[in-house]
Amino acid sequence: MATSGKTLKIASLFILFVLGITIFVLAVLKIIVEDRDLRWLIASEKNRAIRGAIISSDGYQLAYSNKVYRVEFLAPTVDPAKRELFINLVHIYSDIPKEVIRKTLRSKGYVVLAKNIDTKRAYQLKLLNRVLLGMNVFRPYKINNRYITQGLTIVESGEERVFPYEDLLTPVIGHIHKIEDKEGYIRPKGVEGLEGYYNRFIKEHQDGLIRGRRDIRNNIILNKEALIRKRIDGYNLHLNINVLLQKNLENILDNHRIDLDAKEIIAAVMESDTGKILAIASSRRYNASHITKESEGALNISAIRYTFEPGSVMKPITFALLLEHKLVNLYEMVKGYNGVYKLGKKVITDEHKREWFSAENVIVYSSNIGIAQLAQRLPYDKFYKGLLNFGFGSRTGIDLPNEGRGLVLPIQRFKSELYKANVGYGYSIEVTFAQLLNAYNAFNNEGKEITPRIGAFLSETSGKRKELPPQKIRQVISSKTANTVKEILVKVVEKGTGRIARIEGLQVGGKTGTARIARGGRYRSIYNSSFFGFANDRKHRYTIGVTVIEPKERYFASQTAVPVFREIVLELINEGYLSPRR
């Protein structure tokens, strides 16, 4: 009996052992064979790249990007006994109202606590999350047979473009559209101005990525198996624009626009030998951070898109072509017909009524009659090709998108005497402000045309500099012709239609232009007026342009554009760009 009982006991133990082994083997087989959701074992974390900043020559960030974050959590996992602690701490670290936090805790699922938390508060909440986990504020929850303690989830939800100086440099700086990707992440894309032209450089280049296994607290384990990809932000764009000069230029234009009751005033200052645009402004601007329906009319950059008949500012261009082809002598006499001249069926008149002008005084006193006669000496093909060579009818290449070309009619039109006369004094041709600025720069730069440039260079976040493509330099007219016209433009300021621009101790020259605007097939009593020229001291040379669009109080350029020009030159003196001789 004793032996039989012992045998039974051994048999029972053996059976239990076999049963245990069998259960263990079956459990292992189940783990091997059963489908598992490995997403909870592997984690990935993106570090999104951001758009580069736009920075002035004096170091001000005119546009930059900030990340915004979304804060989420599973409401039922907050320990009921520690809810008030959770509410108070989250409120302190994020400034989210307590009522909002308390309301989210009533949810039975996953909730979004905030959608647009800035980088600073997002970082603070990440630190707080570690504290809350350490204090066991969050209870573990079961998912796929595993218990996980997750806490707050703080994820990048998008990128916000910031324009801290509101309307400064608008519309030239441009604006952005918000683009949402497949993951719901929102990014800015430049669509106008510098934001649009340089978009391929300043947009983000590569998002950072970390992928690896999770630890018990849901953090990624950074070991050899982890994938790490570097974040590469967009280039920063550095400008030739000086903020103080730009702001003061905008103030000048704003004040004169009100005084003249003008539709718009455009102005720019260009360093003559380098083509650097130091300031370019319009009186029509908008807040780049808050574009409204009222802003839409100001989004277009008039300096490169608004085309107009320029009037008498074209006379020095015509005269330069005559000089270049040796078709005029400065001191020969040109009949003025006492202010009234008939060409075919057209009657041409002058404000300054004289019987005779010297050839150079045709420009100094802005004689339509004189230039109409001189223009006839230009062979039709040389006149046409000369205008094209000056850049009319084509883009200047300034670093702004969608630049207009203006309009030069076909070469056959130049066979007409009347058409030559019209173009000679600035009608029957359409130009842009940028084209005129570029053309006048040749007079102050030994006859050379250089592509205007607002951008100076690019830089990486590390500070490493990247140069922009070189500007094109082209000899438009000979240096002799350029200097001759330059001397005539100085006389325009000393004794002609631009006398208001004269400043003692500086070399100032330029030309006025007033032109009627055609509407509905005929010219109306509305005008554009311009003054393009230069201001130089012994070391520095600047080309300056002003165009006043549809002034109502006064319309002659000598009363509208010239005073604006003079005030700009005085500002250049005040800011140390020019030093008059004493």
Tens of pLDDT, residue by residue, the chain (582 residues): 555 666 766 766 677 776 767 776 666 555 444 444 444 466 667 788 999 999 999 999 999 999 999 999 989 899 999 999 999 999 999 999 999 999 999 988 889 998 888 889 999 999 999 999 999 999 988 777 777 788 898 888 899 999 999 999 999 999 999 998 888 888 999 989 999 999 999 999 998 877 777 665 556 666 666 677 888 999 999 999 999 999 999 999 999 999 999 999 999 999 999 999 999 999 999 999 888 777 777 889 999 999 999 999 999 999 999 999 999 999 999 999 999 999 988 999 998 899 999 999 999 999 999 999 999 999 999 999 999 999 999 999 999 999 999 999 999 999 999 999 999 999 999 999 999 999 999 999 999 999 999 999 999 988 999 999 999 999 999 999 999 999 999 999 999 999 999 999 999 999 999 999 998 888 999 999 999 999 999 999 999 999 999 999 899 999 999 999 999 999 999 999 999 998
Spatial contact of 506 and 582, defined as CB atoms under 8 Å apart: no
pTM for this predicted structure = 0.84
Write the CB contacts of 272 (distance below 8 Å, at least 6 apart in sequence): 441, 444, 445, 534, 536, 541, 542, 543
Q: Can you give the residue ranges of every domain in the chain?
A: 42-75+82-239, 243-286+302-574
The rounded distance, in Å, linking the Cα atoms of 43 and 30 is 25
Q: What angle do CA 323, 325, 327 make, to 5 degrees?
A: 65
**Count of residues in the chain:** 582
Q: What pLDDT was estimated at residue 29?
A: 59
The rounded distance, in Å, linking the Cα atoms of 214 and 44 is 9
Do 42-75+82-239 and 243-286+302-574 come out as alike in CATH topology? no
Spatial contact of 448 and 473, defined as CB atoms under 8 Å apart: yes
Q: What pLDDT was estimated at residue 216?
A: 54
Per DSSP, the three-state class of 455 is: strand
According to DSSP H, which parts of 142-299 are helical? Answer: 193-197, 199-202, 243-260
Spatial contact of 571 and 279, defined as CB atoms under 8 Å apart: no
CATH class of 243-286+302-574: alpha beta
> Beta-strand (E) ranges in 119-170?
141-143, 146-148, 153-162
The rounded distance, in Å, linking the Cα atoms of 554 and 550 is 9
Chain Cα centroid distance, residue 339:
47
The rounded distance, in Å, linking the Cα atoms of 581 and 579 is 7
Could you tell me the two tokens for 271?
């360093």
Q: How many CA atoms lie within 13 A of 279 on its CB side?
A: 29
Q: Which residues of 213-240 are buried (b: 16+ CB within 10 A; e: fewer)?
A: eeeeeeebeeeeeeeeeebebbbbbbbb
Q: Which residues of 242-281 are buried (b: 16+ CB within 10 A; e: fewer)?
A: bbebbebbbebbeebbeebebbbbbbbbbbbbebbbbbbb
Q: What pLDDT was estimated at residue 37?
A: 44
Spatial contact of 202 and 236, defined as CB atoms under 8 Å apart: yes
Could you tell me the two tokens for 498?
């631009």
Q: 44: which strand partners?
A: 211
- The closest alpha carbon to 195, from 163, 165, 241, belongs to 163
The rounded distance, in Å, linking the Cα atoms of 119 and 570 is 44
Spatial contact of 205 and 23, defined as CB atoms under 8 Å apart: no
Could you tell me the two tokens for 330?
């400065």
Could you tell me the two tokens for 414?
């130049």
- The closest alpha carbon to 148, from 219, 44, 46, belongs to 219
Among the four given CATH numbers 3.90.1310.10, 3.40.50.300, 1.10.10.10, 3.10.520.10, the one describing domain 42-75+82-239:
3.90.1310.10
Could you tell me the two tokens for 51?
């758009």
State the distance between the two ends of the chain, measured CA to CA, in whole angstroms: 135
